[in-house]
């Protein structure tokens, strides 16, 4: 089974997110109509992350990275961008990560944790992969309240890793976090983690 590319978009929202939720829905609808688009997972519009209600993450599954590039160069992108920009309360950032949601259930929810990790410099990529697979993935899959997990190096920066995990609740994650192998902590220069109540936007062509 081929691995999709997940575009992860992060942005702080302004008052229009709740004031005119139809703008957000229009942005998601335009995405769903694009060639190569497989799925979109998102919070809101009522609230973004559980840590910061004005901070939003949108996870966009493309069949390939080139499918995303095609959208950026398409006639549909300009009105899409205008709608998205109207919702911004600050800088938008994004990254791309190879993940396989269908095989990993990483976005099953109802709550998803998203951790972006800056690795310590000079680490061997294969050793990092082995440590995360053994110390994180294989460990959290044994937790009763975890329903899926996936991770990958970002396309933009080999020294960054994104980890997406599906939980019954934020509290379930916090209860289990200390059980993750300590070897994983030795990889981390710094990281940040956010939780959100995740929704799936049904892509319709």
Q: Considering the domain boundaries, does residue 59 fall inside one?
A: yes
Q: Considering the domain boundaries, does residue 179 fall inside one?
A: yes
Q: Considering the domain boundaries, does residue 201 fall inside one?
A: no
Rg, the chain, Cα only: 17
Is the Cβ–Cβ distance between 103 and 148 less than 8 Å? no
* pLDDT the model gives residue 205: 47
**Residue ending a domain, choose from 100, 123, 154:** 100
Secondary structure of the chain: what % helix, strand, coil (to 5)?
35, 35, 35
Nearest Cα residue to 26 out of 96, 107, 74, 86: 86
Question: Domain containing 96 — which CATH number?
Answer: 3.30.70.100
Q: Considering the domain boundaries, does residue 202 fall inside one?
A: no
Per-residue pLDDT of the chain (205 residues; tens, 9 = 90+): 567 999 999 999 999 999 999 999 999 999 999 999 999 999 988 999 999 999 999 999 999 999 999 999 999 999 999 999 999 999 999 999 999 998 999 999 999 999 999 999 999 999 999 999 998 999 999 999 999 999 999 999 999 999 999 999 999 999 988 788 788 999 999 999 999 999 999 755 4
What is the pTM assigned to this prediction?
0.94
Residues 149 and 36: their CA atoms lie apart, in Å, by 23
Q: Considering the domain boundaries, does residue 67 fall inside one?
A: yes
In a shared domain, residues 26 and 60: yes
Is the Cβ–Cβ distance between 83 and 26 less than 8 Å? yes
In a shared domain, residues 192 and 105: yes
Residues 198 and 109: their CA atoms lie apart, in Å, by 6
Q: What is the DSSP string of 20-46?
A: -HHHHHHHHHHHHTSTTEEEEEE--SS
Query: Domain of 151?
Result: 101-196
* pLDDT the model gives residue 73: 96
Sheet holding 55-62: strands in order across? 93-99, 4-12, 55-62, 37-42, 199-201
Is the Cβ–Cβ distance between 17 and 56 less than 8 Å? yes
Is the Cβ–Cβ distance between 11 and 59 less than 8 Å? no
């Amino acid at each position: 089974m081929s691995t999709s590319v997940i575009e992860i978009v992060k942005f702080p929202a302004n008052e229009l997110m709740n004031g005119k939720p139809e703008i957000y829905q229009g942005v998601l609808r335009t995405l769903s109509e694009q060639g190569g688009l497989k799925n979109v997972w998102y919070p809101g519009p009522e609230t973004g992350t559980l840590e910061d209600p004005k901070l939003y993450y949108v996870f966009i599954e493309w069949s390939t990275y080139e499918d995303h590039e095609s959208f950026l160069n398409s006639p549909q992108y300009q009105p899409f961008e205008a709608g998205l920009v109207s919702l911004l309360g600050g800088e938008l950032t994004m990254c791309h990560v190879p993940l396989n949601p269908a095989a990993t259930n990483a976005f099953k929810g109802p709550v998803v944790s998203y951790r972006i990790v800056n690795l310590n410099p000079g680490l061997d990529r294969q050793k990092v992969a082995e440590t995360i697979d053994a110390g994180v993935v294989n460990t959290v899959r044994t937790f009763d309240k975890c329903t899926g997990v996936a991770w990958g190096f970002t396309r933009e920066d080999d020294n960054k890793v994104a980890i997406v995990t599906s939980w019954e609740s934020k509290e379930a994650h916090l209860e289990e976090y200390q059980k993750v192998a300590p070897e994983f902590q030795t990889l981390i220069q710094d990281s940040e983690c956010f939780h959100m109540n995740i929704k799936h936007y049904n892509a319709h062509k």
